[in-house]
Amino acid sequence: MRSILVLMVGWLVSLALVDRVPAAEFLSGQTVTIAADETWEGDVYIFAQSVKVEGTINGDLVVYAQRLHVSGTIEGGVIAAGQEILLEGTYGRSCRIACQAARVEASTRMKRDLVAASYSLEVDKGAAIDGDLIYAGFQAMLKGTIEDDVWAAVNRAEVFGKVGRELSITTDSKNQQGPPPSQYWQDMQLVDIPTVSPGLTIHQDATIGGKLTYQSSSEVTIDDGAKVTGPIEWIQPEKPVQQDPQDKIAYFWGQLKRYATLLAMGILMVVCCPTTCGGTVDQIVQRPILSLLAGILAVPLSIIALGVVAGLILAIPMAFGWLTLDGLAVAGAFIAAFGTVLYVGSLAYFFIFGAAAVTSITLGRIVFSDHPIVSRGRLMLSLAFGLVFYVVLTCVPYLRVGVFVAAILFAFGGLFVWMMVGLFVSQSEKQAPATKVS
């Protein structure tokens, strides 16, 4: 009962407050103007080619337009995107703008931050930003007052005014070109793009109230009369390291030795197990998806089997000891240890060399022929040819790990499928009735 009463009271209070909650307004058209004698309650969303705001908005202003000129009072913040933006007046919260060219006039008063992204940003003398300035673009000319920090990443910048705390900026003085010709910036009616000197320049009467941190290939220009209260830190970009020709030769020889090693180990496997190599490659070529899925199962099974084989070293002697056959316990221990070493060596060999050899033979067979390869000579020829592709692919930085993993999965999966197919085929042949030949 108490819960129902609480819900009813909350519902009545919400009804009483409905008329007091300002609604958002949506405006659109070719040209949208909010006159100086107009006051809008709540947020205003405008989509137009040209927008001019001279009145008062007791909320946020969100604009998407080619031109935006704000000279009134915005109690909230501004979020705007367009070609050119001219800001005047008073702003209660942060302004976030993205455009081609932006200008903050001398009469502007921002009580919070300015976050901007544009080709050019100019803050006139007399403009005041009570928070931070965060800017990314080609150039910046700062003549006004920024009470807190300035964080910027530009090609060039000039500081004439005041930065209350830290100035942290990244510039690039390599590009010595000025602003683009006017024909590339047509229909600029509100903002004139200034000419900014390359690099970072702190002019006379400029004040930096905290630390100056700049990253640039050239040293900052600080005119006489400029004041930097905190320390100055110059971060020079690292020069690209040119690779020594000797390192390239050493890398080439290293890959050549790697190719020769894999080729020798692959030839050894082909000589010793030609049927296994050919059958595994056949399964990968004929059943690639099944081989890949089987590899996902076979790799962990082979590792589990390693633990089982290693456990035989203890299990066999214990079994003979339990049967009081002490003479066989020692011999069983030696046999189990030899089997474990043999299995571990074979597994390591297949992981390191066998998977690469099987993958290379598969690549060579795909290129040379679709028919099964049974002779040792053709297996070696496919190995030598496909191994070139394997070594080249494993030299690619972001592709190396993927090639290694794919080779291991396909090799183990193809071997597992070949063994299973051979097992079932052999059993079916044994169970098939003999055909009487007259």
What DSSP string describes 240-254?
PPPPPHHHHHHHHHH
Give the residue numbers spanning the domain of 356: 245-429
What pLDDT is recorded for position 325?
53
Same domain for 305 and 388? yes
What pLDDT is recorded for position 186?
57
Q: How far apart are CA 87 and CA 70, in angstroms?
A: 5
What pLDDT is recorded for position 1?
37
Instruction: Give the pTM.
Output: 0.54
What pLDDT is recorded for position 21?
41
Same domain for 228 and 252? no
Q: How far apart are CA 121 and CA 40, in angstroms?
A: 29
What pLDDT is recorded for position 437?
39
Same domain for 208 and 278? no
Amino acid at 125: K
Same domain for 199 and 286? no
119 occurs within a structural domain: yes
146 occurs within a structural domain: yes
Q: How far apart are CA 77 and CA 91, in angstroms?
A: 6
DSSP 8-state assignment for residue 183: G
Burial 366-405 (b: 16+ CB within 10 A, else e): eeeeeeebeeeebbbbbbbbbbebbbebbeeeeeeeebbe
Same domain for 210 and 276? no
43 occurs within a structural domain: no
Digit-by-digit pLDDT tens for the chain (438 residues) are: 333 333 333 433 333 333 444 567 899 889 999 999 999 999 999 999 999 999 999 999 999 999 999 999 999 999 999 999 999 999 999 999 999 999 999 999 999 999 999 999 999 999 999 999 999 999 999 999 999 999 999 999 999 999 999 999 998 755 555 555 444 555 678 898 888 988 899 999 899 999 999 998 888 999 999 999 999 999 887 776 666 677 778 888 888 888 898 889 888 888 888 888 888 888 888 888 888 888 888 888 887 877 777 676 666 666 655 555 555 656 666 776 777 777 777 888 888 888 888 888 888 877 765 556 667 888 888 888 888 888 888 888 778 888 888 888 888 888 888 888 776 655 555 454 444 433
Same domain for 194 and 287? no
Same domain for 252 and 141? no
24 occurs within a structural domain: no
Same domain for 227 and 251? no
What pLDDT is recorded for position 331?
65
Same domain for 211 and 285? no
- Number of helices followed by number of strands (H, E) in the chain: 8, 26
What pLDDT is recorded for position 332?
63
What pLDDT is recorded for position 69?
96
Domain count, the chain: 2
117 occurs within a structural domain: yes
Same domain for 222 and 250? no
Same domain for 412 and 305? yes
What pLDDT is recorded for position 318?
65
436 occurs within a structural domain: no
